[in-house]
Structure 1
């Protein structure tokens, strides 16, 4: 199977596409070694389709094979040199993958560095912004957590979860006014979930306790 001259290789052109799709299914089932075998077989037949290295990186990351995961993500970063939106997004995902891999090694500084680079490249990714907030919050870096949760709300104002987390962070800081404000915003967006009952109780307690 030949690719037309002057065109970049894409998944759509690829023979044996079912191998790649099979790899995706196996990955979803947590059968990472089998997924790797499928992806590698696909890659042997389509060596120019470097995007597969991202999928391989994800497998190795989930298996805890840090060194190999970093190697696969690095290939993606080296190959995605274009300024097209597709390239930028894939590069951002690979940078995030490296960040998450370093997290598995408990190397918070390196993780932050790569996750920030990823967000710089793809600033419209509210899930990534939220996940960076989660990392900071779990390490009690509250100011940074606030920054990234707020960024998630700016990118996607109608997503309730970052407001909930902002409420919790402000609670940790004993900043009751901001905690109430964010919890109330959460309730506007999600008035009837199981979590809402708990949030209503927190607000009630804070208003009583703080004289709001």
Structure 2
């Protein structure tokens, strides 16, 4: 296990060749070392060897079908390849095997969002925000999904929470502007677009939204 800790440290430091050497030795010494397979999968995913990464995660799962981190790693790798159906299966298995953390629900929610299954996306993103109320990415994505399902008042409330967590979140201000425009609150919509542009002067969507509202006025 000391070698695995050392390999993880090397991965975090970007010393991937050293990490690979240690993990390879760990697997040779113990071909049933599931943690080594999972970490090797993580390393391969980092360098873009996605298919090989999946093979290592699958090997860990063959050895231990309750290895939640192997399912989670495979889910992330499938997600990176936009294989969202496969990713859903892996994230659900990770959760079923005890990985009931915010990140797992967030990734599952993103998968459903990309598949166009907004009710399932909402449910999982809500769980992610409940488990980690300071996760800005989960909160923002939850707000976007609420807006897409035309729950505009709820979306505004969530996007305002995002801004409280990060006052420089230009995309949150832009989407607030869209929501206020939908409600025909032109003053608040303009103010939101302007704030997005103040934070990020090159925000094309906010600039376009501002121009359209000014044309209407």
Asked whether the two chains share a fold, i.e. TM above 0.5, the reply is yes
**Alpha-carbon deviations, 1:64-115, whole Å to 9, x = none?**
435x73344433464347xxxxxxxxx1111112223333554432321211
Higher mean alpha-carbon deviation, 187-196 vs 143-152, is at: 187-196
Query: 8 Å contact 1:133–1:145 — kept in the other structure?
Result: yes
**Alpha-carbon deviations, 1:144-186, whole Å to 9, x = none?**
2212222211111112111011111111111112112212222
Query: 8 Å contact 1:92–1:118 — kept in the other structure?
Result: yes
Partner of 1:15: 23
Q: Distance in 2 between matches of 1:3 and 1:149?
A: 44
1:109 to 119, 138, 142: 119
- Normalized per residue, which structure has more helix? 2
Partner of 2:16: none
Partner of 2:29: none
How does 1:68-83 map onto structure 2 within 5 Å?
69-76=88-95, 78-80=97-99
How does 1:92-131 map onto structure 2 within 5 Å?
92-104=102-114, 106-131=116-141
> TM-score if structure 1 supplies the norm length?
0.70
1:58 to 66, 69, 76: 76
Q: Distance in 1 between matches of 2:211 and 2:202?
A: 13
Q: Distance in 2 between matches of 1:42 and 1:109?
A: 32
Partner of 1:172: 182
1:39 to 54, 57, 61: 57
Q: Distance in 1 between matches of 2:46 and 2:59?
A: 13
The count of corresponding residues between Structure 1 and Structure 2 is 189
Partner of 2:47: 25
Partner of 1:149: 159
Q: Distance in 1 between matches of 2:67 and 2:2?
A: 11
Residue 206 of structure 2 is aligned to residue 184 of structure 1: no
| Stretches of structure 1 lacking an aligned partner (at least 5 in a row) | 82-90
Root-mean-square deviation (Å): 3.6
